[in-house]
Chain A
């Protein structure tokens, strides 16, 4: 056997590699994949399609490769035996990557009833001029109307101004569908982006559309207005103005188009159009008045604000309401005097809108006092709206103006301003408000305490505690206590928080005052406060003891569980025992570091101590949250107690549900017992569901 010389072998190998490389470069998609795609139908695996789609995406930067892919895909498109969804897939890819080489092949199917939409899918966004020419040429070919409509739509989408003559013919033709499409396309071209449309395209399209619009042809006015917008963009305002004037001035034109024209006029003929807008408020068409209000919101300038505001008194109430709301939304304080004036209007809706509007604009002394007076002298919606506005009114000087008036004027106005400062969280008001805590007027003092609760800090705390001591009646004392608790909770130092109250407690002999102090300490929380409660609870004074026990029962931390347990067991007073036990059960249920075993012990203790079914039920409710077999036993033990059987069954089911993964046997036994013992439908249903779960 003759052997091949080594150098010849190398040449052959190189040729083979080169051939494969050339083949790969010319045919990036594997032929087998192409063969499968050729017969693709919806519902089949998209694996091949996805592979090709990925190939396309990854080749977008490689001109040679993407052109080779395109050629291969175009072969699929040309093939008469490729399926509809194969062709659709190819067109979807051409949407992204189609080049001029795809255009002739797409042109062949562009007028086909079946494939035209997908051919447009590929052509419409192809930026090459050949694609535009293909679409225009297709209009000269025979095709169903629907196909031509689609092609016209694509021409409009491409803003192809070279198509204006052919579109003009169609727009003046007899077929209503073609006519409507051509008119819409002319509008798209006339109003198209200047990057796409030629300088004269808006004017040329408008020239075609104007007579059609005059005749009332459907869609022509809309399209003409788009041309108007295009003319404005091209700097041809005079032509645009003519269009807008005609559309606006012809009362037969549909209202939406007239509104659009008026908007256009405001762009090109601003000053001359303002009186038109104002007139709409005086007219008898409320829809147009509302549209005018929309324009008022959008037009800028302080002079305009004054112009519009000066018209207010001349308008009917319904228009005033619209204009006031619009003026307020402009955010221009130049409207404030007019709005203050409108607060005095006879019409309640006008009043309300003006009051609401003042809340959105920068406050002046007059506007703030107007709002405060309104809140002080009215009830219902007017008062509520004025209060809301006082809380919202903006401006760097607003808080200062309010502070300056908290000691002036009527009591009602003062309390409104004080309340507003609190709602505004005006921290600068804390010290001035603290200074009027000794005001002779009780309602001022109570309002001040409410406001200080929102904004006071440690600096005002002692003065507030002092108000508890000095309050002449229960109502004010409660207000002071509530405010002290709110502010005190913001003080992190527990000693600092409790000490003024402790001092006041030791300094007074008034038992009623001591009771309030103890109650306040209970709500404040913290270790020093707790020590004082413990001390009061063990004291001899019954009222103080009662207050301390109530405070302990409401305490928020688990550190009082032992105190409450002791009271629940040993107090002479049944009320105290019950209160303590309820607090005890509540706290056991809170998250803590104690072990599950300890928690179960505490619940067992509660069940033992409780004398009444009510507390036992509470304890069972809490026990149900403990997911442990020991808890299950305790709950099961109560099943036979007729007063507790329902709650015991619920707790049992709940615990069983929680432990069934780790303790299926115990859970199953308990649930089966429930099945025979309970009559409650919900409980039985849950037990069944859990048993079924265990069985699986």
Chain B
């Protein structure tokens, strides 16, 4: 993009005056052009949200099911219909293969809402293509993917938002601010209540729906037959690929990317991970237990000391704070009504998860849930899954990015991809 006359015809995403002020209508040349990759239930939510935003424009969509691709493109054309007649919108293109979308030079950014097993490849390819990125949580399928994704995004100086949108919620931020500023004293434990790991898939083969490119849906995952549970015939329910190991880490990563993420935020552990992981053994470890290098303990789910925990419970030497969607409470009650003092350190406030990403694309800041944050939070989840899978305690070496003296666990840090896919 160049200043002056050329700016009107080139990619317009850097800090137009109208954008930071957020006032008035936005000229077409000042809009960020976005490509949507994946149009399932979550992609549908993102599409509708972004269609309502003035300073972005959806100009391309990729989806492996032709029926849904057509719906998404038509939805976009309808939403921008008025602009099209005024010449402010030149159409939204549909692609089966995301690589065709990434090859377009006129697209500034991509929003990735595909199943988890695709995230690593698509994020790295998007970064190499110079796109800014919003990627749904959980960030990755494996620890190694996360590391390579961080490298690629940093290497190419991309703005990246992980879709762990609880970071943009006031209650979660307030809980973490209070914890980090010592309002319940030194933190001893955190409980994060999320579901179990994924399991092997055993779904029977079903007739392949017309228009679905099943091989592109599977992508790097092992060969498996189509079943509508994995790609339902409609977009109004969440597909259950999340339950299966080839495509996801299960509830452990799906909700862990929210609740463990908040635990990490509250503990000030962004970019870091626990160094010990212990599966439940019926004796010393009641539930899956993580330990950080500073001694703080993080539990997966309730324990005797916190049997009814829901969401995230921080326990400090002087009180407790529990936060979840819909509530924020504390013991004593007075903690949550406290306002931060001028000597406290507030956490960055996000104006909304999409808005934050868009603003950061303009001013080149790191968003509220930057890739390194998303990577460390999902790594906590992956560690848990590996410990459950092997039913053994693990020691993590954060310098070498390996488990200490545990070649079997280290094999599970990554996963082989079907040809021709690679990271």
Contact = CB atoms under 8 A, between A and B. Distances in A.
A284 B2 contact: yes
**Residue among A50, A325, A427 with most chain B CB within 10 A:** A325
B237 interface: no
Interface in A390-420: 392, 394, 396, 398-399
B268 interface: no
Nearest to A50: B200
**Residue among B13, B15, B17, B389 with most chain A CB within 10 A:** B15
Contact of A259 (B20, B156, B339, B365): B156
B325 to A, nearest CB: 25
B409 to A, nearest CB: 9
Contacts of A381: 21, 23
Nearest to B407: A127
Contacts of A225: 155
Interface string A130-150: 000000000000000011011
B283 interface: no
Nearest to A329: B365
A352 B17 CA distance: 10
A349 B17 contact: yes
B419 A146 contact: yes
B130 A426 contact: no
Contacts of B128: 222, 256
Interface string A91-129: 010011100000000000000000011101100111100
10 smallest CB-CB distances across A and B, nearest first, come from A43-B204, A150-B419, A256-B130, A424-B342, A153-B422, A125-B411, A286-B14, A124-B416, A121-B416, A290-B14
Interface string B123-151: 00001111000000000000000000000
Given A260-B155, A321-B15, 18 more contacts: A53-B200, A117-B222, A117-B223, A127-B411, A146-B420, A149-B419, A150-B420, A156-B422, A157-B423, A184-B422, A254-B130, A256-B128, A286-B15, A293-B363, A322-B14, A348-B17, A348-B21, A399-B342
A95 B420 contact: no
**Residue among A153, A259, A286 with most chain B CB within 10 A:** A286
Contact of A195 (B342, B345, B400, B420): B400
A153 B130 contact: no
Instruction: Give chain A's interface secondary structure class.
Output: helix
B66 interface: no
Interface in A196-255: 222, 225, 229, 254-255
Nearest to B224: A42
B341 to A, nearest CB: 5
Interface residues of B, number: 60
Contacts of B223: 84, 88, 117-118
Interface in A280-321: 284-287, 289-291, 293-295, 297, 316, 318, 321
Nearest to A454: B339
Interface of A: 42-46, 49-50, 53, 57-58, 60, 84, 88, 92, 95-97, 116-118, 120-121, 124-127, 146-147, 149-150, 153-154, 156-157, 177, 181, 184, 195, 222, 225, 229, 254-256, 259-260, 263, 284-287, 289-291, 293-295, 297, 316, 318, 321-322, 325-326, 329, 348-349, 352-353, 381, 392, 394, 396, 398-399, 424-427, 454
Interface string B326-365: 0000000000000111110110000000000000000111
A287 B11 contact: yes
A84 B224 CA distance: 10
A43 B17 contact: no
A68 to B, nearest CB: 17
A149 B420 contact: yes
Contacts of B155: 225, 229, 260, 263
B404 interface: no
A177 B15 contact: no
Contact of A322 (B130, B363, B420): B363
B419 A322 contact: no
A117 B418 contact: yes
B4 A322 contact: no
B393 to A, nearest CB: 12
Nearest to B245: A92
Contact of A316 (B3, B201, B364, B408): B3
B14 A42 contact: no
